[in-house]
Structure 1
Amino acid sequence: MGKLIYAANTSLDGYLEDEDGSFDWSVPDEEVHAFWNEHERGIGTSLYGRRLYETMRVWEDDDWLTAEPDVVREYARIWRDADKVVYSSTLEGVSTARTRIERHFEPEAVRQLKRASASDLSVGGAALGAQAFRHGLVDECVLLLHPVLVGGGKSALPAGVRVDLELLGHRRFDNGVVHVHHAVRTDP
């Protein structure tokens, strides 16, 4: 059975992107990129909302990768090898391999996907992540806290949801980014 892991880059004040929709402050250096590569290597299926999928589908295209460092090209290979489920009621079709669209988020279908999976799954994006948290589907939370305050924008974690966590690990990167890894506590 696979675990569902919510994973995100976030500002220190808790945002995925600033009020203008920018997340340029979270572009990873080589060390952080290598961390994400290792994390993603254990993911068999990624669950995306439409906007995050549209951002991530750049990894399908080789044209821009030729001049990129090995760590970036490696991420593209890892991303391509994973299955992707995009939750969207408006997306006409997908332009990446190993990708399917689901028109509605169905918690029981995600539970079945977790039960049937031999590897872990990830969920990304603010709205989809919030739904997964609200339905008790998230097993672990991996956050990379970037040393920046953006003052507002899209919150990384859902409001109005209480989830008790247990720290599984942490790490400080040379660029000041801090990784925190928590398990969702299921005991009362």
Structure 2
Amino acid sequence: MAHLVYSAIASLDGYIADADGSFDWAAPDVEVHAYVNELERPIGTYLYGGRMYATMAYWETADDPAPVSREYAEIWRAADKIVYSRSLPAISTARTRLEREFTPDDVAELKQSSNAAISIGGANLGGQALLAGLVDEIHLFLAPVVVGGGTRALPDGLTVGLELATERRFPTGFVHLHYKLTP
């Protein structure tokens, strides 16, 4: 059975985007990006909402000369993607299918049938999975900034037990926190 992993880069006060919808303050440096690459390498399937997919689709054709970016693009392209959106007319990337409804039972079945880890991205979709009790691990990268409001990394009303599995501090002030959810 595959683990479902929710990952996000958030401000210290818990937002993945500020009140204006910007997340340019969340850009990881080379060392953080390389670390993310290692965490993403075992992912077999990415689950996205429409907005997160629109952001991540960049990696389908990205031709960044930086080795860490090229490596991430290869990791991303090698994985399957499922996009949950009622409004997105079509998808534009390989190895991607569009689903109109996020159904917890379908995701639970995907976890049962998958051999590789599954990543769920985006605060809305990730929040739905967290509230449905589907998420097994949380990876939060805290950026050294306080933005004062915006899109929360974790949903309101969520109550879960957490066990800190690993942590890492980076010279630029980023901190990675890896939690396993406990019953």
The answer to whether residue 144 in structure 2 is matched with residue 153 in structure 1 is no
2:170 alignment counterpart? 173
Q: How does 1:89-168 map to 2 (within 5 A)?
A: 89-168=86-165
| TM-superposed deviation, 1:28 | 1.0
1:74 corresponds to 2:71: yes
**Residue matched to 1:8:** 8
Distance 1:164 1:41 in 2: 26
Q: Could you say which residue in structure 2 is the equivalent of 1:83?
A: 80
Which residue of 156, 179, 182 corresponds with 1:182?
179
Structure 1's unaligned 5+ residue stretches are: none
Q: Identity, % of aligned pairs?
A: 56
Q: Could you tell me how far 1:31 is from its partner in structure 2?
A: 0.3
Q: Give aligned pairs, total.
A: 183
Amino acid at match of 1:43: I
SS class of match (1:2): coil
Question: Does residue 19 of the first structure (1) align with residue 16 of the second (2)?
Answer: no
Cα RMSD after superposing both structures: 0.7
Once residues 161 and 75 of structure 1 are traced to their aligned partners in structure 2, the CA distance between those partners, rounded to angstroms, is 31
C-alpha distance in 1, partners of 2:54/2:171?
30
Equivalent position SS for 2:68: helix
Q: TM-score by structure 2 length?
A: 0.98
Query: Residue 122 of structure 1 aligns to a residue in which SS?
Result: strand
- Give the Å deviation of 1:86: 0.3
Residue identity opposite 2:127 in structure 1: A
DSSP 3-state at the match of 1:137: coil
CA distance, structure 2, for counterparts of residue 97 and residue 110 of structure 1: 21
Find the aligned partners of 1:77 and 1:180 in 2 and give their Cα distance: 25
CA drift of 1:135 comes to 0.6
SS of 1:112's equivalent?
A: helix
Unaligned segments of structure 2, at least 5 residues: none
Deviations 1:127-174 (A, max 9, x none): 101100111000000000011000000000010110110000100011
